[in-house]
Amino acid sequence: MYFSDEAAGYIKDYLEEKKTMFPLFCADSDPFVITEKGERLSVRQIQNIVPKYVLAAIPDKAGTISPHKLRSSFAMTFYQRDPKYGGHDLLTLQRRMNHKAITSTNVYAKAAENVSKETRNWRENISD
């Protein structure tokens, strides 16, 4: 699983909390997120949980953020990054997204390029 430096801080906090609440489920081989019974979450449970927490944390984004949207945002952000940090590297992105076909990955690259064209830097003249 790949994540940003900002997310690393949140993950560290979560793991510390998990150790206090579920000390028996903190081995490296245990799932990252678990149910109250210490079981692995299913895909469907994650699909149901994400909107619930989005509503609680950022109500104005309710209904717009899903697991797929998070994955898509990661892919586009990764692709847009400065090339010296791996940006614009379609093959690395393909591996990180676990895509079998490069055409699946290319969808995110094309979308990222379109977003870049539709936005402007704050230094640019706003009348352009």
The torsion of the CA quartet 123, 120, 107, 84, rounded to 10 degrees, works out to 0
Q: Are 60 and 76 a contacting pair, CB within 8 Å?
A: no
Residues linked to residue 34 through DSSP beta bridges, in sequence order: 40
pLDDT at 73: 85
Name every residue whose Cβ is closer than 8 Å to that of residue 54 and which is 6 or more positions away in sequence: 61, 62, 64, 65
Per-residue pLDDT reduced to its tens digit, 28-39: 788 888 887 878
Instruction: For residues 57-72, give the mean pLDDT.
Output: 90
Q: What is the mean pLDDT of residues 38-45?
A: 87
User: What average pLDDT score do residues 9-28 get?
Assistant: 84
User: Would you state the pLDDT for residue 124?
Assistant: 54
- The answer to pTM > 0.75 is no
The yes-or-no verdict on residue 19 having pLDDT over 60 is: yes
Give the integer Cα–Cα distance in Å for 43 and 34: 12
Distance CA 87, CA 22 (A): 38
Predicted pLDDT of residue 119: 54
How far lies 65's CA from each of 49, 56, 71, 74, in Å? 11, 12, 10, 13
Q: What pLDDT does residue 32 have?
A: 82
Positive or negative, the CA dihedral 61, 67, 69, 74 is positive
